[in-house]
Structure 1
Amino acid sequence: MLKWRWIAVTAVVVAAVTGALLWLFLAWSGRPDAPVRIDAVKTAFGAGAGAGGVFALWLATRRQRTLELQLAETTRVASVTERDLEERRVTELYTKAVEQLGNDKAPVRLGGLYALERLGQDNPRQRQTIVNVLCAYLRMPFKEPKEGLRGADAVQRPQNNDDYDAPELQVRLAAQELLKIHLQREHPAFWPGMSIDLQRATLVDFRLSGCEVVVADFSHARFVGSVHMRGTTFAEKTGFYGTVFTSLANFDRSVFTEGAYFSWARFEGVARFARTRSEGGMRFHHTNFAAEAVFERSTHEFDFEGATFAVEPDLPHPGTR
């Protein structure tokens, strides 16, 4: 903003210029008659008015620019304030949801899971963090069932609730379901670009079919009940090192883009790898197959160094379909 003293100085200068022009016009006219004097006065005041108009225009432009700068700064401050408030709100919601996961009551823990899921749905930048929390929760130890709760075996041999922590199992099944929903390519709530770390986790009746994962590590995990990862794409090298599969493990039509390690894993049920694809090869060093192993129409190299089979598999030749 211009100070008033500068405006006053400018007004005096314009008046002085007008007076000087008036004197020059009168002096140059050489004729003192009234019409000439009137024309000189008109010309001088017209020039002065023009100079004043130019100054007024410049002043208005400067004021407009100043107002625009003030508005831009106000908008920036408001935006920063709004962003800070939003980040604070997200942090508070996240903290509260995580606290709920540590509650002694299973329904409260379930509420924490769904609060995190809703937070991730509304805030894409928080999704990987929320997936990390879900995985960390599943890595926590608990009293698991001896076998899966789905399928014919569960119907024929119903388990006593004293054998495992039933309320906690329901929370974990919900966490597994949330992972599956947000990793499925065709699901409306798909979260792309996610990575999962489930090392040493105990997973019951695990489902991850039709999903897309960047990095996945299941090393030393224990899968209780059947596992279904049919048609799942693993973008980077995947780890199943030392993993235990207590029942059916179905990886049919899955894509291990950079390969996978199943070394020292143990398959106690049927292991299915039909029509799987991999550009990095599949490593089954010292893997134990206690039941049938199916590898038909797979299109990658296998490495079964030290592996043992209860039933000799019909292995495809590399590159065949």
Structure 2
Amino acid sequence: MTASTAPSEPVPVLKWRWIAVAAVAVAAVTGVLLWSFLAWSGRPDAPVRIDAVKTAFGVGAGAGGVFALWLATRRQRTLELQLAETTRVAAVTERDLEERRVTELYTKAVEQLGSDKAPVRLGGLYALERLGQDNPKQRQMIVNVLCAYLRMPFMGPKTGLRGRTGAELGEDTDPELLVRLAAQELLKTHLSHDDPGHWPGMSVDLQRAVLVDFRLSGCTLAAADFSRARFVGAVHIRGSRFTRRTGFYGAEFTDIANFDRSVFDEGAFFSWAHFARSVRFTRIRSGGKFQFSHTVFAEGADFEGGEHEDLDLTDAQFPA
């Protein structure tokens, strides 16, 4: 990450020979005027000659004053250009230092995510979050890293964790699961439009990810792709808005799913998805095709109150 340096206006250089030429020119003009005035007067009177000399030297002094004023103006312009160049270089240097610092922090946080120790990986997650809070331009990249981490191979538990006590979970809970739950919570926090730390305009790619007790309620996203993801435990995506077409192609839902009051501006496709438990699509608004072709609803689906431009349930399977 390096800042580009735009070419600046070159500082003009005044050669001494031009100053000498200007001085000679002023002296020559003064001499010519003096000779002309003396020749024009045509009188040998001392007062007349003195007036002619005064007039000639006055004109020469005026010309010299104009030249001196031009030199002073040019010197001031040169100082201004030098100051502007110094300020520009300082700003570029400061940007370079800041971007270098951001790069170092990002690199260190990503390295922490590759640690074999869960606490170190957690530290990397929160370091990335802080980096995103302080640097809005890096937020999408950080969301991409969080999603990439969640897409990494993971067996996951057989059931969700919500509603289970600490004794039921036991002390041998997979530390990697805790890290992934933290990553999911960070996404939920910064995608929520009601959260003070909201990151607007983010896109997520969670294809083939294993997501446990996944929550994304009250969030606003741009592009989102959950194709072939496996949702373990209850899923709550209530009152969220997806501004671009959203993908759940071939996704597997092992527990209840709730999409109540969510908005899909450009539609969504759940083709070939599998819902093992009941799912609610109540009061959904879809501005594009809402596609469920070949989707399996093992315990049924509730579409009550939905507003759909094009609801496609071709070959969808419902319980008898």
TM-score (normalizing by structure 2): 0.91
Query: What per-residue deviation string (whole Å, max 9, x for no partner) do you get for residues 95-120 of structure 1?
Result: 11100000111111111111111111
Amino acid at match of 1:303: D
When residues 308 and 138 of structure 1 are mapped into structure 2, their CA distance, relative to the original with a 3 A threshold, is same
Any idea what SS the aligned residue of 1:223 has?
Answer: strand
Corresponding residue of 1:310: 319
Deviation of 1:126 (Å): 1.1
1:113 alignment partner, one of 125, 133, 137: 125
Alpha-carbon distance in 1 for matches of 2:81, 2:14: 15
Query: What per-residue deviation string (whole Å, max 9, x for no partner) do you get for residues 207-253 of structure 1?
Result: 11111111111011111111111111111111111111111211001
Deviation of 1:155 (Å): 4.7
Alpha-carbon distance in 2 for matches of 1:60, 1:262: 76
Alpha-carbon distance in 1 for matches of 2:155, 2:274: 21
Corresponding residue of 2:72: 60
Equivalences for 1:44-193 in 2 at 5 Å? 44-151=56-163, 154-155=164-165, 158-162=168-172, 165=174, 167-193=175-201
Corresponding residue of 1:206: 214
Query: What per-residue deviation string (whole Å, max 9, x for no partner) do you get for residues 274-293 of structure 1?
Result: 00011212111121112242
Alpha-carbon distance in 2 for matches of 1:238, 1:291: 23
Corresponding residue of 2:54: 42
2:307 alignment partner, one of 294, 299, 312: 299
Corresponding residue of 1:258: 266
Corresponding residue of 2:253: 245
- CA-atom RMSD, angstroms? 1.8
Any idea what SS the aligned residue of 1:275 has?
Answer: coil
Query: What per-residue deviation string (whole Å, max 9, x for no partner) do you get for residues 14-54 of structure 1?
Result: 12211221121122112222322222122111100110011
Deviation of 1:302 (Å): 2.2
Corresponding residue of 1:216: 224
When residues 31 and 133 of structure 1 are mapped into structure 2, their CA distance, relative to the original with a 3 A threshold, is same
Deviation of 1:306 (Å): 1.7
Amino acid at match of 1:284: F
Deviation of 1:254 (Å): 0.5
Query: What per-residue deviation string (whole Å, max 9, x for no partner) do you get for residues 131-166 of structure 1?
Result: 100000011122422211113xx359923454x51x
Amino acid at match of 2:209: A
Farther off after superposition, 201-210 or 62-71: 62-71
Amino acid at match of 1:278: S
Alpha-carbon distance in 2 for matches of 1:157, 1:245: 26
Alpha-carbon distance in 2 for matches of 1:9, 1:104: 78
TM-score (normalizing by structure 1): 0.90
Amino acid at match of 1:159: L
Identity %: 75
Amino acid at match of 2:177: L
Amino acid at match of 1:257: D
Alpha-carbon distance in 2 for matches of 1:54, 1:119: 58
Alpha-carbon distance in 1 for matches of 2:159, 2:109: 30
Deviation of 1:3 (Å): 2.3
Any idea what SS the aligned residue of 2:101 has?
Answer: helix
Alpha-carbon distance in 2 for matches of 1:39, 1:246: 111
Alpha-carbon distance in 1 for matches of 2:23, 2:41: 27
Query: What per-residue deviation string (whole Å, max 9, x for no partner) do you get for residues 47-103 of structure 1?
Result: 001100111111112222222222222222222222222222111111111000001
Amino acid at match of 1:41: V
When residues 201 and 127 of structure 1 are mapped into structure 2, their CA distance, relative to the original with a 3 A threshold, is same
Structure 2 runs not aligned, ≥5 long: 1-12
